[in-house]
Amino acid sequence: MKRRYDLGEQPPLGTIPPRMLAAVVRPGRFGPPRESLAVEEVDTPTVGPEQVLVWVMAAGVNYNMVWAGRGQPVDVTAARRREGNPEGLHIGGSDAAGIVWAVGERVTGTRVGDEVIVTGAQWDERATDIRLGADPTTSRTMRAWGYETSFGGLAQFALADEYQVHPKPATLGWADAGCFGVSAGTAYRQLFGWPPHQVRPGDPVLIWGGAGGLGSMAIQLTHRAGGTAIAVVSDPRRAEHCLKLGARAVIDRSRFSHWGRLPDTGDPAFRGWQLGVRAFQRAWWAALGERRDPRIVFEHPGQGTLPTSVACCEPGGMVVLCGATSGYNGDVDLRYLWMRQIRMQGSHVANTRQFRSVIELAGRGLLDVCRTQTFPLAEAGEAHQVLHDGTGLGNLAITVNAI
């Protein structure tokens, strides 16, 4: 057996070389993805009793690796050191597709040779809160795979728990299969995971960042459920992308300037903010074609948009948020919240059933995974830079062993 295989070479099924190639973040190399991510040779992980080792064919591009490379808000390399990796090497990546290469002795649901999609959330199935019935994504043991844990998808071998691996639909090629799980699963949970605020036929849904990874999934899921998706974008190319996916209309956010933190209610600038929100609301009504507010606001930009999201939401509706690309200080004029009895709901990745649902939709051709660009592993930093710069559309993929 060779000590390490090159990308494009394949060891015999089940043969595990001691070393592998991986895109890693290491201490002292924090910064934008282009600088922080580099391919290095590292030790291949060892499979534990309930784990699965996957020969990764392709992986996804998520913000998790942007945050990891930045060292903010969490220094993942310090976490890796605490876990016993003396160099603090972080092997990230929260989406992958590949072939099962080894299984732990207690694994029963998957076998060596299975083609699988690996989904990006981990928890301890024996945790007390899960045993008492908690949704695993709310468990105190929940971890974002490839961010809060190492040995994610951006390597020749990835280490996952058994429940993370799902059969890869034969209709999806490797790059498609590896690129959409986190985006689609997260969007699905936001739109269908919080009853009674699940998208119903006729519901207007405001989708921020409609041309991005999450947004591209959210438009389609809303449309397929009979809802009316109105997407927000920042340029005509992104508008066209959203309309092709089924958005009824788009709003270009570059036409407005009231974004960012809410001015103090006693400040004269507050009036300017209110006028900005009203102008946005008029644009929303024009886009929808009726004077009705969104029943669900699909949030993830955070600081820049949250004040508007709350002010625009229909009475009794929900603002559902899974991230804060533009900053963590999400201001709310509380009067909107209580007078209109709006629900603000945090949402984080997806549970096993939700992940499986989007994989099946994609497998049946009912959800376009929206892979718009594909990069080799050597360009993992460049791929994440596209995400960081907000210049990409839909989901991006990285081919690992499937070169």
DSSP 31: S
Residue list 244-263, contact with ligand NDP (CB under 6 A) = 253
Neighbours of 115 (CB within 10 A): 18
- 348 contacts ligand NDP (rule: CB under 6 A): yes
Q: Where are the beta strands (DSSP E) in 35-156?
A: 38-43, 51-60, 90-91, 96-103, 115-118, 121-122, 143-144
DSSP 225: T
Provide, rounded to whole angstroms, the least separation between the CB of residue 396 and ligand NDP: 8
- 345 contacts ligand NDP (rule: CB under 6 A): no
Neighbours of 265 (CB within 10 A): 12
- 25 contacts ligand NDP (rule: CB under 6 A): no
Helix (H) or strand (E) run with residue 280 in it: helix 268-288
- CA separation (Å) from 318 to 2, 193, 212, 297, 328? 55, 12, 21, 6, 19
Buried b (16+ CB within 10 A) or exposed e, 130-153: beeebbbbebeebebbbbbbbbbb
- 301 contacts ligand NDP (rule: CB under 6 A): yes
Residue whose CB is less far from ligand NDP, 100 or 233: 233
Residue whose CB is less far from ligand NDP, 53 or 247: 247
Residue whose CB is less far from ligand NDP, 212 or 381: 212
Cα(368)–Cα(362) distance, integer angstroms: 6
Residue whose CB is less far from ligand NDP, 219 or 233: 233
Residue whose CB is less far from ligand NDP, 168 or 253: 253
Contacts 24+ apart (CB under 8 A), 69-74: 69/25, 69/30, 69/31, 69/32, 69/33, 69/35, 69/36, 69/37, 69/381, 69/384, 70/30, 70/31, 70/32, 70/36, 71/30, 71/36, 72/30, 73/328, 74/148
Provide, rounded to whole angstroms, the least separation between the CB of residue 209 and ligand NDP: 2
- 68 contacts ligand NDP (rule: CB under 6 A): no
- 349 contacts ligand NDP (rule: CB under 6 A): yes
Contact characters 197-216, ligand NDP, x per CB under 6 A:
-----------xx-xxxxx-
Q: Which of 226, 315, 316, 390 binds ligand NDP (CB under 6 A)?
A: 390
Q: Which of 80, 90, 238, 248 binds ligand NDP (CB under 6 A)?
A: 238
Number of residues that bind ligand NDP (CB under 6 A): 29
- 228 contacts ligand NDP (rule: CB under 6 A): no
Helix (H) or strand (E) run with residue 165 in it: strand 165-167
Q: Which of 110, 122, 164, 183 binds ligand NDP (CB under 6 A)?
A: 183
Q: Which of 23, 99, 182, 288 binds ligand NDP (CB under 6 A)?
A: 182
Residue whose CB is less far from ligand NDP, 139 or 401: 139
> Which residue's C-beta sits nearest to ligand NDP?
212
Residue list 304-333, contact with ligand NDP (CB under 6 A) = 304-305, 322-323, 325-326
Neighbours of 190 (CB within 10 A): 32
Nearest Cα neighbor of 215 from 191, 192, 196 is 191
Q: What residues make contact with ligand NDP under the rule CB under 6 A?
A: 62-63, 182-183, 186, 208-209, 211-215, 232-234, 238, 253, 300-301, 304-305, 322-323, 325-326, 348-349, 387, 390
